[in-house]
Amino acid sequence: MSVTIKDIAKLAGVSHTTVSRALNNSPLIQEETKERIRIIAEQMDYTPNYSAKSLVLDRSYNLGLFFTTLSQGTSAGFFYEAIRGVNSVIQDRYQLIVKGIDDYTSFHSITRKSFDGIVVVSQSDDDQAIIDHIASKGIPQVVLNRPVETSGVLNVLSDEEQGAFLAASYLIEQGHKRIALIEGRKGFKSAQNRKDGFERAMRHYQITVPPAYRMPGLYDLESGHKAMQQFLTLDERPTAVFCCNDEMALGAMKAVSEAGMNVPNDISVVGFDDTVFAAYVTPALTTVRRPIEQISREGALRLLGNIENKQHETEQLLLKTELIVRESVRLLTP
Amino acid sequence: MSVTIKDIAKLAGVSHTTVSRALNNSPLIQEETKERIRIIAEQMDYTPNYSAKSLVLDRSYNLGLFFTTLSQGTSAGFFYEAIRGVNSVIQDRYQLIVKGIDDYTSFHSITRKSFDGIVVVSQSDDDQAIIDHIASKGIPQVVLNRPVETSGVLNVLSDEEQGAFLAASYLIEQGHKRIALIEGRKGFKSAQNRKDGFERAMRHYQITVPPAYRMPGLYDLESGHKAMQQFLTLDERPTAVFCCNDEMALGAMKAVSEAGMNVPNDISVVGFDDTVFAAYVTPALTTVRRPIEQISREGALRLLGNIENKQHETEQLLLKTELIVRESVRLLTP
DNA sequence: CACATCTATGCACACGTTAACAATAGTCTT
DNA sequence: AAGACTATTGTTAACGTGTGCATAGATGTG
């Protein structure tokens, strides 16, 4: 059917071994022989059979890109940036295989033979199981976005606690004292980190947050909307609301305007993530930017380094987040 | 290193052929032998080597999912929904390999050996080259999202012309006569279709659109913003603006509010795509919903059908779009 | 009982590639 | 000029799996 090195060999009047060596640019083969063979291969439109290569070289040329879930809870922008980041560094060398971890009923099929390396974009503590499995199989991996306990695993993430601290501090510095919190999805590490940064800022500036000023959330528009509706029913309403991501912040702003009030004049809002639309809503959302694309690029680069140099660098890289000040927070003068 | 069928054979006291047949549930093997072998395989934690299988069976177990570009112009939500749709139907049977078409410097490596089938999510006429290449290699394929000329290719898309017609007609039915258009990215088929639907509605209701009421766009927030700024400088401003996607509509709304004006009271806006945030901006955006996830699911299903039944069904499936009425269009009373 | 038929299993090879080792011819060294 | 060395190419086996054909035993048939 398709052209093999044996076909080329026949035409070139050499052995298939010579063809193999020539095409792999082995120093054993004479330069002019190589050139002759390359030309013939080109003419015959030869493409190597990667299954055969994989079998003998024990490399799959596959790079896994695993997300906690593909069906819910992952924001589209996050997903997109992560794929872009990884894709930008792998070039032609690997095939990028995208999976949702929750699609696996068993990790049985995840082996050294099927993946040269795996990028786990982890958003939940539950991912620990697959991370351990990958580690136990000895497959090179890098875990992005979430701090990971397993030692000896590459780990690249942004300092979300610091980002949340920045944003919460900013609210206080703008004169706010009655500050409410809409939390992230339970079980997601980011939810915990962002909350921690918020709490640290409150402690640092000695602000107390009453229980009524805390609402759970699911990282989606709906739950932000609901939470803000709750806050608005309170006798003593908060003057500012810290939302653990931008989508909930949008939902919250929606609730404010539905109640005939205005952001930021009646109530201030900050988000987290700097999603692509944050700059374009009205008012433009003040938020915290995570360098996701950079995270996934740095992670993929280090992973490829480990794969190709057969080393086992293990490092935790913490990239800085950045507060993006826009229009959704009002300066409160006493 | 890892367990092979020969290891199992040794332990079971049979030939590796028997093991192979047993694990593939061949009718040639006695039921109790099968069961015995299955148990041993389980205990030894056997996983088949897919490179070896691929080599002999001439199947890669790979499904390509190709986007026009991963680096620009593709909206995150679109991307996300497409992957979700395809992923939901492939289960464990295939690996999903995501690629940007513009990452290829040569299509040379795209062969029957490396892909059992390919889903091309096409957003540009330029994709015709890769579609033809895939067809010429005899690889089963389905083209989503864009009508394709090549005959004998599965094709699933939404009727965007009809969607645009719906939205534009809605503006007119709400009493608007001075209607402007912000076009989509040049070269993208969707840009053409949406414009066509818009024009048909104008003709149908005998509305003329002056040249100053037409602005080019790039499908991003920036260009929508710019275009609307232009419209606002006109002496006779349009009362409604049809934006060829939601992101540009957001940019446009931003420009309106920056000018101290209000949507929909001063100017009405419609978008296209029903992106996830359309419902949550202020005012909520009236737009057209494309069933992307359904498109990619239906497309993937038909593709798998063709692969697994070795048939070559060729069909064009046109899925209906839907107008989602929200708050960004005002009822104009004469 | 002789023969045909059926059932369950094994043998040997194939898939396309790489690599250890062998072979050949030419060159250098002393 | 013989031996050692080098440069280039070929021979053969190996990777793990599936399959056509052969085989051995069991069963049926007249």
Instruction: Say if CB A119 and CB A142 are below 8 A apart.
Output: yes
pLDDT, greater one: A203 or B150: A203
CA B77/CA B48 separation, integer angstroms: 36
Interface of B with A in 88-107 (CB under 8 A): 88, 91-92, 95-100, 103, 105
pLDDT digits (tens, 9 = 90+) for B44-74: 999 999 999 999 999 999 999 999 988 876 6
pLDDT at B280 over 80: no
Over residues B250-264, the pLDDT tens digits come to 999 999 999 999 999
d(CA B181, CA B252): 11
Contact status, residue A158 vs residue A194, Cβ threshold 8 Å: no
Answer yes or no: do A70 and B47 touch at CB < 8 A. no
What is the reported pLDDT for A202?
98
Residue A254 near chain B (CB below 8 Å) = yes
How many angstroms separate the first and last alpha carbons of chain A?
81
| Amino acid type, B131 | I
In tens, the pLDDT along B76-122 reads: 778 899 999 999 998 788 999 999 999 999 999 999 999 999 999 99
Q: Which tokens go with A262? A: 């205005």
- B57/A contact by beta carbon, under 8 A: no
pLDDT band at residue A275, thresholds of 50, 70 and 90?
confident
Do B115 and B296 meet the contact criterion of CB atoms below 8 Å apart? Answer: no
Is A109's CB within 8 Å of B92's CB?
yes
List the single residue in B with minimal CA-CA distance to A61. Answer: B51
Are B184 and B194 in contact by the 8 Å Cβ rule? The answer is yes
- Answer yes or no: do A113 and B70 touch at CB < 8 A: no
Residue A136 has pLDDT above 90, yes or no: yes
Q: Which pLDDT belongs to residue A39?
A: 93
- Tokens 């205990």 belong to B43
| Band (B276; pLDDT cuts 50, 70, 90) | confident
3-state secondary structure chain B: CCCCHHHHHHHHCCCHHHHHHHHCCCCCCCHHHHHHHHHHHHHCCCCCCHHHHHHHHCCCCEEEEEECCCCCCCCHHHHHHHHHHHHHHHCCCCEEEEEEHHHCCCHHHCCCCCCCEEEEECCCHHHHHHHHHHHHCCCCEEEECCCCCCCCCEEEEECHHHHHHHHHHHHHHCCCCCEEEECCCCCCHHHHHHHHHHHHHHHHCCCCCCHHHEECCCCCHHHHHHHHHHHHHCCCCCCEEEECCHHHHHHHHHHHHHCCCCCCCCCEEECCECCCCCCCCCCCCEEEECCHHHHHHHHHHHHHHHHHCCCCCCCEEEECCEEECCCCCCCCCC
pTM beyond 0.75, yes or no: yes
Q: Are B252 and B227 in contact (CB under 8 A)?
A: yes
Q: What is the pLDDT of residue A146?
A: 86
CB contacts, 8 Å: A54 with chain B: 51, 54
Instruction: List, for residues A99-108, the tens digit of each pLDDT value.
Output: 999 999 999 9
Of the partner residues A55, A91, A99, the one whose CB lies closest to the CB of residue B51:
A55
d(CA B119, CA B138): 14
Q: Say whether pLDDT at A188 is over 90.
A: no
Are the CB atoms for B244 and B191 separated by under 8 Å? yes
Residues in contact with strand D, defined as Cβ under 7 Å from any of its atoms: A 13-18, 21, 28-30, 33, 52, 55-56; B 1-2, 4-6, 16-17, 20-21, 23-24, 48-49, 52-53, 55-57
Residue A149 — very low, low, confident or very high, per pLDDT cuts 50/70/90? confident
Confidence of residue A74 (pLDDT cuts 50, 70, 90): low
d(CA A192, CA A35): 60
Mean pLDDT over A219-238 rounds to 96
Any chain A CB within 8 A of the CB of B62? yes
Quote the DSSP letter at residue B276: T
Which pLDDT band, with edges at 50, 70 and 90, does B279 fall under? confident
B189 versus A58: the higher-pLDDT residue is A58
pLDDT for A1: 67
Strand ranges (E), A133-188: 141-144, 154-158, 179-182
CB contact at 8 A, A289 and A262: no
Angle (deg, nearest 10), helices A221-233 and A246-258: 50
In this predicted model, what pLDDT tens digit does every residue of A288-310 receive, in sequence order? 999 999 999 999 999 999 998 87
What is the structure's pLDDT at A73? 61
A133 touches chain B (CB under 8 A): no
Any CB–CB contact under 8 A between B50 and chain A? yes
Max avg pLDDT among A146-160, B247-261, B268-282: B247-261
- On the question of pLDDT at A75 being above 80, the answer is no
Q: Residue A67 and residue A84: Cα distance in Å, rounded? A: 14
Residue given tokens 């020969």 in the structure block: B6
Gap between the Cα atoms of A119 and B245, Å rounded: 33
Report the range of poorest mean pLDDT among B184-188, B277-281, B314-318: B277-281
How far is it, in rounded angstroms, from Cα A287 to Cα A194? 12
Q: Looking at residues A259-264, what average pLDDT do you find?
A: 94
Q: Is B311 a residue whose pLDDT tops 90? A: no
Residue B3, number of CB atoms within 10 A of its CB: 17
A44 lies within 8 A of chain B by CB: no
Determine the pLDDT at residue B85.
95
Strand pairing of B287-289 and A322-324?
A: unpaired
Q: Quick one: which of A108, A106, A98, A105 has its CA closest to A70?
A: A98
Distance from CA of B147 to the nearest CA of A (A): 25
pLDDT of residue A270 exceeding 80, the answer is: yes
> Rounded distance, CA B29 to CA B12, Å?
14
Q: Is the pLDDT of residue B187 over 70?
A: yes
Of B60, B100, B251, the CB nearest to A51: B60
The band of A72, judged by pLDDT with boundaries at 50, 70 and 90, is confident
- At B78 the pLDDT is 82
Q: What average pLDDT is seen over chain B?
A: 92
The DSSP bridge partners found for residue B289 are B273, B322
Residue B310: is its pLDDT beyond 80?
Answer: no
- Buried/exposed B118-151: b ≥16 CB within 10 Å, e otherwise: bbbbbbbeebeebbebbbebebbbbbbbbebeee
What digits encode the pLDDT tens for the residues B145-182?
888 877 778 999 999 999 999 999 999 999 999 999 99
Mean pLDDT within B266-279:
90
CB atoms A87 and B100 under 8 Å: yes
B25 CA to D17 C1' distance (Å): 15
